[in-house]
């Protein structure tokens, strides 16, 4: 660095205020991506220095990497480069179906949508909840359709398990990557899908135990433990209350 | 190196970068970050009242730049002056953030250090230099916004006047007078022993 002898001390001092960007600054600009094995086929996963911010089944883009990269860059307006190491815990989360321990970067997601996604993250593997449940749990019981739309925009599907949110009548409902993938995912997770749908067709949406007096959603782990002889089928919450039952604290059907 | 490279933050900026960028945005964009990160970071650090947010703001500047470049025709990109353009994005972002924060008084504490030590000074000299820098940094926050921006861009970031004027969106003469008035005010507010 050459110093002009005529430069006065003040400008020298000002030059001394120049700073260098923190080490690893580029990582806060660029996102990284890689391909990993998912529960029903490979996935493209993109992540920033704050966490995972996009997931897409490779089949959804015909295994075309460039289509995925282009879509990501357009949607997030962020440059993307190949990653070398997967975010900590990703493989384990995909194996166990528990995405709760991962870091997500949901800066592109609005407040209502974030609440919907955070609630959905609580639904355990092997169980499903109605759209109306998500809406009620986040304090907007009338925003059922809005909750559905928010789930449709979920940037990190499978990890935040929007496939575990279904229609109140027992049908699995729609999915961003097509309804069949949703059914496949729920089958892999051993949800009692056929039973739930059959019950739904008969107008049964809750199950209770006559020994404990607790009622659940049919997919709740506690409902599935009830032996046939003690199982009570219920059409709605008021029927459950009339029968003297209280809501399960695990699946919170009411 | 160009003559304006005398000041610390400026790296050797290769002239063919806009051209390479116009040919392959994904390939060349990392070089844009590498070439201009210190200038953008210093701008965010020294013109915002919140040094703790400088790295976030600088990262946001490059993301916005990237998103904008995706929409520009190659011809336009090839002729761009990247550095003043990036600094303009930073200034707009900082202004919007300041507005959103509801005109809070600037935080005059220096929480992020400038890393320009030459390694030869002892702890006492370092502490003295840091004190001097902290004082100068807080004096800067007392300048009117345009003057402060002009002084920082010219003498801290080290932009030549042409780029400074482009970044601030004003004629070169206006930029010069902002700098001169800013320096004058600074000089008047600095006690003799530190100047």
Q: Report domain extents, chain A.
A: 28-191, 194-254
Q: Using pLDDT thresholds of 50, 70 and 90, give the confidence band for residue B104.
A: low
pLDDT of res. B122: 67
- pLDDT at residue A242 in the model: 92
A27 burial level (CB within 10 Å; 0-12, 13-18, 19+): middle
pLDDT digits (tens, 9 = 90+) for A28-54: 999 999 999 999 999 999 999 999 999
List alpha helices for chain B, DSSP H.
17-23, 25-47, 54-71, 74-78, 82-100, 123-140, 145-151, 161-168, 172-189
Of B8, B41, B59, nearest to A15 by CB-CB distance is: B8
pLDDT in tens, B13-57: 557 899 999 999 999 999 999 999 999 999 999 988 778 889 999
Q: Is residue B171 part of a domain?
A: yes
Q: Does A77 touch chain B (CB under 8 A)?
A: yes
Number of structural domains, chain B?
Answer: 1
pLDDT digits (tens, 9 = 90+) for B134-144: 888 888 888 99
Residues A18, B8: C-beta atoms closer than 8 Å: yes
Q: What pLDDT, on the 0 to 100 scale, is given for residue B127?
A: 67
**Domain ranges, residue B153:** 3-104+125-194
- pLDDT reported for residue B175: 96
Q: Quick check: is B97 in a domain?
A: yes
Q: Output the pLDDT for position B4.
A: 44
* CA pair distance A183, A110, nearest whole angstrom: 28
Does residue B155 lie in a domain region? yes
Question: Any CB–CB contact under 8 A between A30 and chain B?
Answer: yes
Interatomic CA distance for residues A247 and A206, integer angstroms: 10
Please give, rounded to a whole number of angstroms, the shortest distance from the CA of B33 to a CA of chain A.
Answer: 7
Q: Residue B116's pLDDT is what?
A: 43
Which tokens sit at A198? 């059959």
For chain A, how long is the longest CA-to-CA vector?
97
User: With contacts defined as CB-CB under 8 Å, which chain A residues touch B6?
Assistant: 1-4
How much is the pLDDT for A3?
45
Q: State whether residue A6 sits within 8 Å of chain B by CB.
A: no
In this structure, of A83-87, B68-72, B141-145, B168-172, the range with the lowest mean pLDDT score is B141-145
In chain B, residues with a C-beta closer than 8 Å to the C-beta of A2 are 6
For residue B164, the domain's CATH number is: 1.10.10.10
In a domain, B77, yes or no: yes
A15-36 average pLDDT score: 93
pLDDT of residue B99: 80
Contact B116, B38 (CB under 8 A): no
The alpha-carbon gap from A85 to the nearest alpha carbon of chain B, in Å, equals 19
Condensed to tens digits (0 to 9), the pLDDT of residues A232-251 reads: 999 999 999 999 999 999 99
* Interface mutation target, options B33, B71, B190, chain A, most CBs of A under 10 Å: B33
Residue B55 lies in a domain: yes
Give every CB contact of residue B171 below 8 A, 6+ residues apart in sequence: B165
| Out of A5-19, A66-80, B175-189, least confident range | A5-19
- The residue with greater pLDDT, A124 or B95, is A124
Cross-chain CB nearest to A77 (options B42, B67, B186): B67
Cross-chain residue pair B195–A9, CB shorter than 8 Å: yes
pLDDT, position B138: 84
Has the ipTM of the complex gone over 0.85?
A: no
Cβ distance A17 to B46 less than 8 Å, yes or no, reads yes
Task: For residue B114, tell me if it sits in a domain.
Answer: no
CA distances from B107 to B47, B110, B144 (A): 11, 8, 15
Given CATH 1.10.10.10, say whether it is the number of domain A28-191.
Answer: yes
| pLDDT at residue number B57 | 94
Q: Which of A22, A26, A78 sits opposite B66 (nearest CB)?
A: A78
In angstroms, the CA B166 to CA B180 distance is: 17
Pairing mode of beta strands A41-47, A52-57: antiparallel
Within chain A, where are the H helices? 9-15, 65-76, 90-96, 111-120, 131-137, 144-152, 179-188, 193-201, 221-224, 237-242
* Min Cα–Cα distance to chain B from A26, Å: 7
Among chain A residues, the shortest Cα distance to B60 is held by A29
User: Given this model, what pLDDT does residue B118 score?
Assistant: 47
Q: Which residues of A touch B46 (CB under 8 A)?
A: 17, 19
Rounded Cα distance, A66 and A59, in Å: 13
Q: What would the CATH number be for the domain defined by A194-254?
A: 3.40.10.10
Q: Judge: A25–B41 Cβ closer than 8 Å, yes or no.
A: yes
At residue A7, does pLDDT exceed 70?
no
Is there a domain that residue B110 lies in? no
A224 pLDDT tier (thresholds 50, 70, 90)? very high
- For residue B12, pLDDT over 50 is answered with no
Contacting residues for B75 by C-beta, under 8 A, at least 6 apart: B22
Task: List, in order, residues 6 or more apart from A135 with CB less than 8 Å away.
Answer: A141, A142, A143, A144, A146, A147
Statement: residue A108 has pLDDT above 60 = yes
C-beta separation of A111 from A146 below 8 A = no
- What pLDDT band is residue B121 in, cutting at 50, 70 and 90? low
Element holding A214 (H helix, E strand): strand A214-216
Average pLDDT over residues B121-134: 69
Residue-wise pLDDT tens digits, A166-216: 998 888 988 989 999 999 999 999 999 999 999 999 999 999 999 999 999
Q: What is the pLDDT of residue B51?
A: 80
pLDDT at B114 over 50: no
Beta strands A214-216; A206-209: pairing state: antiparallel
DSSP of B79-133, one letter per residue? T--HHHHHHHHHHHHHHHHHHHTTSPPP-----S------S-S-HHHHHHHHHHH
Q: What is the pLDDT of residue B192?
A: 55
B55, B64, B136 member nearest A14 (Cβ): B136
Check residue A156 and give its pLDDT. 97
Q: What is the pLDDT of residue A170?
A: 82
Minimal C-alpha gap between B96 and chain A (Å): 18
């Amino acid at each position: 660095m050459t110093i002009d002898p005529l430069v006065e001390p003040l400008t020298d001092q000002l030059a001394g205020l120049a700073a260098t960007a923190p080490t690893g600054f580029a990582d806060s600009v660029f996102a990284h991506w890689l391909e990993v094995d998912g529960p029903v086929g490979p996935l493209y996963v993109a992540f920033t220095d704050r966490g995972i911010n996009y997931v897409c089944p490779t089949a959804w883009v015909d295994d075309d990497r460039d289509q995925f990269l282009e879509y990501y860059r357009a949607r997030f307006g962020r440059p993307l480069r190949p990653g070398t190491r997967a975010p900590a815990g990703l493989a384990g989360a995909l194996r166990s179906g528990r995405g709760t321990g991962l870091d997500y970067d949901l800066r592109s997601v609005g407040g209502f949508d974030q609440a919907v996604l955070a609630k959905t993250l609580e639904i355990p593997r092997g169980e499903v909840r109605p759209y109306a449940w998500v809406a009620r749990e986040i304090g907007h019981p009338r925003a059922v359709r809005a909750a559905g739309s928010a789930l449709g925009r979920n940037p990190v599907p499978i990890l935040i398990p929007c496939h575990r949110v279904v229609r109140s009548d027992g049908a699995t409902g729609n999915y961003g990557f097509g309804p069949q993938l949703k059914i496949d995912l729920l089958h892999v997770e051993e949800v009692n899908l056929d039973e739930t749908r059959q019950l739904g067709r008969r107008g049964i949406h809750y199950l209770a135990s006559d020994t404990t007096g607790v009622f659940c959603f049919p997919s709740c782990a506690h409902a599935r433990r009830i032996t046939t002889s003690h199982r009570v089928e219920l059409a709605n919450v008021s029927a459950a209350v009339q029968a003297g039952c209280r809501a399960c604290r695990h699946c919170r059907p009411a | 190196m160009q003559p304006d490279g005398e000041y610390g933050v400026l790296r050797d900026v290769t002239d063919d970068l806009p051209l390479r960028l116009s040919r392959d945005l994904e390939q060349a964009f990392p070089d844009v970050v590498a070439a201009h990160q210190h200038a953008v970071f210093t701008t965010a650090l020294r013109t915002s009242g919140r040094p703790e947010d400088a790295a976030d703001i600088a990262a946001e500047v490059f993301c916005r730049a990237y998103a904008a470049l995706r929409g520009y025709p190659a011809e336009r990109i090839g002729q761009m002056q990247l550095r003043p353009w990036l600094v303009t994005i930073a200034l707009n972002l900082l202004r919007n953030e300041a507005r959103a924060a509801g005109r809070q008084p600037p935080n005059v504490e220096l929480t992020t250090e400038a890393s320009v030590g030459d390694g030869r000074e002892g702890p006492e000299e370092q502490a003295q230099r840091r004190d001097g820098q902290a004082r100068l940094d807080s004096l800067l926050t007392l300048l009117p916004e345009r003057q402060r921006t002009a002084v920082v861009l010219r003498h801290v970031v080290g932009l030549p006047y042409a780029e400074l004027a482009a970044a601030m969106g004003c004629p070169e003469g206006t930029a010069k007078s902002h700098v001169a008035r800013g320096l004058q005010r600074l000089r008047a507010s600095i006690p003799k022993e530190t100047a």
